[in-house]
């Protein structure tokens, strides 16, 4: 434990910087209270957000950064928290699969000698297959609660 914990500095920096980014966005939107980026957060917006998760992950932006940017944007309209949590969890899962710098792919690369860049490219088919399934589930959830 004393040797492995200091090796987590990169992960700690990632989560702390995402928190600082999120806090900064909250401050920006609080200062400009007359402007809101979303009027509502429905299944169509959620589907686009899932695509953003996957596309940004393909260029090595970790899903925690997307979460820290989106949550302050959604804060002003107070959407259904369960709906937001489902969308963020789906986006995180789809994004981490195709991100070569995600913790899962890095662990597989270091422990088992796998190529993390090949892993994420091989997982594109996984995310492409599950994206329409996730979108369908989002619409189904919205219909069930609406």
Q: What ranges do the domains of the chain cover? A: 5-145
pLDDT at 138 over 70: yes
Q: Which pLDDT score, from 0 to 100, does residue 19 have?
A: 74
Q: Which pLDDT score, from 0 to 100, does residue 33 have?
A: 65
Q: Which pLDDT score, from 0 to 100, does residue 17 have?
A: 75
Q: Which pLDDT score, from 0 to 100, does residue 94 have?
A: 93
Q: Which pLDDT score, from 0 to 100, does residue 36 have?
A: 67
As a whole number, mean pLDDT of residues 136-142 equals 95
Encode pLDDT of 33-56 as tens digits: 666 667 888 999 999 999 999 999
Of 70, 64, 123, which is closest to residue 97 (Cα–Cα)? 123
**Roughly how many angstroms between the first and final C-alpha of the chain, as a whole number?**
48
Residue 10 to residue 121: CA distance in whole angstroms: 23
| Largest distance between two CA atoms of the chain | 52
Residue 87 to residue 5: CA distance in whole angstroms: 31
Indicate the pLDDT class of residue 3, thresholds 50, 70 and 90: low
Q: Compare 8 and 75 and report the one with higher pLDDT.
A: 75
* Burial class, 114, CB count within 10 angstroms (exposed 0-12 / middle 13-18 / buried 19+): middle
Encode pLDDT of 63-112 as tens digits: 888 888 888 788 778 888 899 999 999 999 999 889 887 777 777 777 78
DSSP 60: T
pLDDT at 5 over 70: no
Indicate the pLDDT class of residue 4, thresholds 50, 70 and 90: low
Q: Return the number of other C-beta atoms located less than 10 Å from residue 69's C-beta.
A: 17
């Amino acid at each position: 434990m004393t040797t492995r914990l200091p090796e987590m500095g990169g992960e700690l920096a990632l989560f702390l910087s995402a928190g600082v980014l999120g806090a900064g966005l909250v401050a920006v939107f609080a200062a400009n209270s007359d402007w809101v980026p979303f009027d509502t957060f429905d299944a169509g917006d959620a589907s686009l957000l899932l695509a953003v998760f996957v596309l940004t992950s393909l260029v090595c932006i970790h899903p925690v950064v997307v979460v820290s940017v989106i949550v302050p944007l959604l804060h002003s309209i107070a959407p259904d928290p369960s709906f937001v949590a489902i969308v963020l969890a789906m986006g995180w899962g789809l994004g981490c699969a195709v991100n070569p710098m995600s913790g899962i792919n890095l662990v597989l690369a270091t422990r088992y000698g796998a190529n993390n860049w090949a892993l994420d490219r091989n997982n594109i088919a996984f995310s492409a297959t599950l994206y329409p399934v996730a979108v369908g589930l989002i619409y189904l959830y919205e219909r069930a609660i609406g």
